[in-house]
Structure 1
Amino acid sequence: MPHRKGLRRKIWTAFILQAAAISFAAVLGVYGASAVLKHVLIQQALQEEAAHYWQRMQANPGAEVPDTYNMTGYLLPAGADPKRVPETIRSLAPGFHALPRAQGGSLVLVDQDRHGHRLYLLFKQEQVDSLAFWFGMAPLAIVLVVIYVIAWTTYRASRRAVSPVIWLASQVQRWDPKQPEPALLSPENLPTDVEGETLVLAQSLHEFASRIENFVQRERDFTRDASHELRTPLTVIRVAGDMMAGDDSLSPMARKSLGRIQGAGRDMEALIEAFLILAREGDTGLPDVDFDVAEVVQEEVEKARLLVAAKPVEVSCRVEQGFHLQAPARVLSVMLSNLLRNACNYTDAGRVTVTVRHGEISVADTGVGMDETVLARVFEPFYRAANPGKEGQGIGLSIVQRLSHRYGWPVRLESRPGEGTTATLSFPHATTAAG
C-alpha cells in the first residue's frame, strides 16, 4: 500500500537525516577540538616551556634543554655551529612549524632570545594523534553509538505511535466509494491501540461511511423507482399520441399541437435516460458492448428528422470511415440525441450534417451560431442564450459534457454568429470497423 510505505518511509527518513545531522555536527566538533588541541593547547604549552627555559637559563647558563618522553629540545647558542641541531629543523625560522610525516611529523617551536640564542622544541606527532584519538575519536564513537541507539528507539516508538493511523488508512483504502464498509470501523472491530485522536477519527469515519451507505441506497432506490414510475406515463402519452396521429379528422392546428406533444415526450424520455445514467456515479447499469458507431449515428439522425419536419432543414449523415467502440451504445445515443436536438432547435433553415470519421463524430449546423461570450458558458447547466422563441431547458450540452468526462470522449464546440455551430466528439480508444 503506497500510503503505508510512504508514512513509515518518511518517519525513517526523518530519523536518518536527524542522526546524520547530529553525527556530522559531532564529527565537526571533534575535528575542531582536535585542531584546538593541536594548534592551540600544544602551541601554548611549547611557548610556556620555552619561556620557562629562558628563565632557567638566566639563573643558570648551563641549564639543560627539555628532554622528556613527549618533547625534545635543542639549543643553538649565538654564533655556534648549526650542525648541533638536526638537519630537518636547522633551517626553520622562529615560530611554529609542523614537520611532514616523512621527517617525523613533530610540531616544532623555534624561539630566539635577545642574545641570539635559539631554542628548538619538538613535540612528537604520534602523541598528538594519540591524545586526539583518546580525547576525541573514542568519546565521539561512544556518543554516536548512543545517538544511534536513541534514534532507533525513538523511531520504533514513533512507528508504534503512528501504527493506528496506518491501520486506519489501510481500512479506508479498501473501501469501495460506491459501497463503503462502515462495519470495519465499528468500535468492536478497532484494535486496542487505537485511542486518542485516532479513535475520534475512526468514529467520525464510521459515522460518515454509515451516512454515505444510506445515501447510496436511497439513490439506488430513487433511480430504480424513477425508471419505472416515469417511463410508464410517458409510454402512455407516446402510445396515445401515435393513435391520435392516425386520426385523419384532426385539424392542422391540432396536428401541430400533437406534434409538439410527441416531440416533448421524446425529449423527456431522452432526458430521463440521461439522468439515470448520470445518477449512478460510474455504474450506469448498462453493459459494455462492441458496436458499430455508424449504425447508432444513422439511427439518431432518423429520429432527428422528425424534429425538423415542419422546417426547411435537411438532416443528413455522411460516413467517411466507420469505427467501433467498446462501451454502452445507449450512452452514445443519449449524447448524439442531445447534440442533434440542440442543432435542430437552433437551425431554422439550411442543414444539419453528421459526419463520421475514424475516432470522431461531428454535428455541424447552419443555425444562428454563438459568439465567444455564449460559447464560454454554453456547457453550464440551465444556461440559455438570448434567442426568443427557442425551446429547451438549457441542460442538453451540460449532459453531453458530463457524459464525455465520464467515458473519456472529449467534446468541443466551434461556432460563429450567423454561420452555425460544429460539435465534435472524439473517441481515443476507437477500433477500425471490420470490413
Structure 2
Amino acid sequence: MPQGLPRRIRYAFVTQGLLASLVVVFGVGLVTLVTRDALVRQQLDVEAEAYWQRHAGQGALAPLPATAAIRGYYGSPVVAGAGIPAYVQSLPDGVNHLYQSQRAVLVERRSDGTLYLVAETRDVDRLMWGSAAALILFGLLAVLAITTMTYRKSRGIVLPINRLAEEVARWDPSQGDVAASLATSDLSEDRSREVRALSAALHGLAGRVADFVQRERDFTRDASHELRTPLTVVRVASDMMLSDPSMPEHGRRSLQRIQRAGRDMEDVIDAFLILAREGGVAPVSEEFDVREVVLEEVEKARPLLAGKPVELRVSGEASPHLFAPPRVLGVVVCNLLQNACTFTESGSVDVAIEADAVIVRDTGIGMSAETLRHAHEPFYRADTFSPLGKGFGLSIASRLAHRFGWQLALESVPGRGTTATLRFVPVTAS
C-alpha cells in the first residue's frame, strides 16, 4: 500500500466508519429506549382509563386489572388498599420506570382514591432490544459496505496521483531523457481525464526543465571560457608592462592593483561557476591552509580602510586545514571583510582564526533584527539610498558556505557592530 495520501485517506475512512458505527449504536439504542417507554406508558394509560370508567359506575367494587403483564392496586381513605407493595406507595404521580426490576409503575391520585398499575416489562424489553440489536447489526453492515465502496472508489482516484507524486519525488532533472526521468506514461491509460491532463502537464514541465538545465550547462561552459579569456589578456598585458624597467613607480602600483582586481574577478567567476553547477559536477578541491588564505584576504582588504581611523588586525594562532577549493574560502572571507571594512567608520575590524572557524568582528553600524532576517537575501539592503554595498556579498558567501557544508552565522547590534562566524570541519588543525 503506498504511503502518504492513500494512507491518510484510509485513516479518514476508518475514522469515519467508527464514528458512523457509534452514531448507529447510540442512535438505535436511544430510539429503542424512547419507543419502549412510550409503548409502556400508552399501555398503562389505556388500562388506567378503562379502570376509571368502571370505577365511575361501580365505585370501589370495580375490578382492577389483573393480567400476566399488568396488575392493579387501589387505595382510598374509605377503602384500604389490599396488598399494595410498599415500594410503589412512595412513588410520585405518573409513570415510573424501574429498569433494574424490569417494571413500570403508573401512579394516579384522585380525590376519591389512588390507582397503582404495575407492569412487567420483561417481554417488552426482550422484544424491543432484540429488534434494536437487529437494527444495529443491519446499520453496521450498511456502514461497512458504504465505507468500503467509497474507500475503494477514492483509493482508485488517489492512487494514480500518488504514483505521479512518487515519480516526481524520484525525478532527476539532470537526466537528459525526460521519459526515463519522469516515467508517467503508464498513467495515460487511466480513465480519469484529470489524471491524464496532470500527467501530460508533468511531461511538459519535465521537458521545459530539461531544456533549462541544458541551457544552464551551456552557459556555464561558455561563461567559463568567455569570461576567462579577457582576464587572461589583461593579466598577460600587465605582466609585460611590469617587466618594463622604464615603468614609473606610480604606474607599477596601478598595474599591481589591476592584477589584484583581475585575480579577484577570476575568484568570483570560479565561485559563480561552482554555484551554477551546484549538485552537478564536483568542483576541483585540494587541502590548503586556512590561515594563509585569510591573511591574503586581510592584506587585500587594507586599502578599503585608507583614511579611516580603523585598525584591521588578525588574532588567534590556529592554522586549520580544509579540503575544498581554496579560492572559495577566499571569496567568502573577502565578502565578510569587505562588509566589515565598508560599514565601519571608526574602531576596529578583528579577524580571529580558530581551530574550526574564522570570525570577523567589527565596530561598525551594525544591523537590526529585521535586517538580519534578510541579510542573506540577494540585493537586500536595509538603506536603499545608501551608496555602500550592493546587497549581494552576503548572499554569495552564504550560498558558497552552504555548498561546502560550512555554517555562516551573523550576530549584530545596531550601533555596536557585527560578528560574522564561518564555522567548518577542518581536515587537520595545528
Q: Kindly state the Cα deviation for residue 401 of structure 1 after the two structures are TM-superposed.
A: 3.3
Which of 188, 206, 229 is 1:232 aligned to?
229
Q: How many Å separate the matches in 2 of 1:279 and 1:207?
A: 24
Partner of 2:140: 144
State the one-letter code of the partner of 1:136: A
Find out whether 1:183 has 2:183 as its counterpart. Answer: no
Partner of 2:357: 360
State the one-letter code of the partner of 2:120: K
Partner of 1:65: 64
Q: Kindly state the Cα deviation for residue 405 of structure 1 after the two structures are TM-superposed.
A: 4.5
Q: How many Å separate the matches in 2 of 1:7 and 1:78?
A: 77
- Larger deviation, residues 43-52 vs 221-230: 221-230
Partner of 2:130: 134
CA RMSD of aligned residues (A): 4.0
Which of 49, 52, 55 is 1:51 aligned to?
49
Q: Please list the CA deviations of residues 237-260 of structure 1 after superposition, one character each: whole Å capped at 9, or x if unmatched.
A: 213312321222012443343234
Find out whether 1:159 has 2:155 as its counterpart. Answer: yes
Partner of 1:111: 108
Q: Which runs of 5+ in 2 are unaligned?
A: none
Q: Please list the CA deviations of residues 268-301 of structure 1 after superposition, one character each: whole Å capped at 9, or x if unmatched.
A: 2122112112212344622566654334324544
Q: Please list the CA deviations of residues 203-237 of structure 1 after superposition, one character each: whole Å capped at 9, or x if unmatched.
A: 11111111111111111121122223322332232
Find out whether 1:255 has 2:252 as its counterpart. Answer: yes
Q: Secondary structure at the match of 1:68?
A: coil
The answer to whether the 8 Å contact 1:288/1:328 transfers is yes
Q: How many Å separate the matches in 2 of 1:208 and 1:256?
A: 54
Q: Kindly state the Cα deviation for residue 327 of structure 1 after the two structures are TM-superposed.
A: 4.9
The answer to whether the 8 Å contact 1:105/1:125 transfers is yes
Partner of 1:201: 198
Taking structure 1 as reference, are residues 122 and 357 closer, same or farther at Cα in structure 2, changes over 3 Å only? same
Taking structure 1 as reference, are residues 264 and 217 closer, same or farther at Cα in structure 2, changes over 3 Å only? same
Which of 276, 280, 293 is 2:290 aligned to?
293
Q: How many Å separate the matches in 2 of 1:387 and 1:109?
A: 94
Q: Please list the CA deviations of residues 107-141 of structure 1 after superposition, one character each: whole Å capped at 9, or x if unmatched.
A: 0112345432x432221131232132134332122
Taking structure 1 as reference, are residues 70 and 138 closer, same or farther at Cα in structure 2, changes over 3 Å only? farther
Aligned ranges for residues 14-53 of structure 1 at < 5 Å? Answer: 14-53=12-51
TM-score by length of 2: 0.81
Q: How many Å separate the matches in 2 of 1:34 and 1:350?
A: 88
Taking structure 1 as reference, are residues 75 and 336 closer, same or farther at Cα in structure 2, changes over 3 Å only? same
Q: Secondary structure at the match of 1:281?
A: coil
The answer to whether the 8 Å contact 1:289/1:326 transfers is yes
TM-score by length of 1: 0.80
Q: Please list the CA deviations of residues 408-432 of structure 1 after superposition, one character each: whole Å capped at 9, or x if unmatched.
A: 5224375888x9x6552331x5358
Partner of 2:84: 85
Q: How many Å separate the matches in 2 of 1:370 and 1:423?
A: 12
State the one-letter code of the partner of 1:219: E
State the one-letter code of the partner of 2:25: V
Which of 408, 427, 430 is 2:425 aligned to?
430
Aligned ranges for residues 274-353 of structure 1 at < 5 Å? Answer: 274-283=271-280, 285-286=282-283, 292-301=289-298, 317-325=314-322, 327-340=324-337, 353=350
Q: Please list the CA deviations of residues 75-111 of structure 1 after superposition, one character each: whole Å capped at 9, or x if unmatched.
A: 446544545234443554543223363xx33101123
- Larger deviation, residues 208-217 vs 356-365: 356-365
State the one-letter code of the partner of 1:259: Q
Q: How many Å separate the matches in 2 of 1:52 and 1:365?
A: 105
Q: Kindly state the Cα deviation for residue 26 of structure 1 after the two structures are TM-superposed.
A: 2.8
The answer to whether the 8 Å contact 1:180/1:212 transfers is no
Q: How many Å separate the matches in 1 of 2:6 and 2:217?
A: 40
The answer to whether the 8 Å contact 1:273/1:334 transfers is no
Find out whether 1:264 has 2:254 as its counterpart. Answer: no
Q: How many Å separate the matches in 2 of 1:270 and 1:240?
A: 19
- Larger deviation, residues 372-381 vs 137-146: 372-381
State the one-letter code of the partner of 2:170: R
Q: Which runs of 5+ in 1 are unaligned?
A: none
Count of residue correspondences: 422
Taking structure 1 as reference, are residues 197 and 387 closer, same or farther at Cα in structure 2, changes over 3 Å only? closer
Report sequence identity in percent: 41
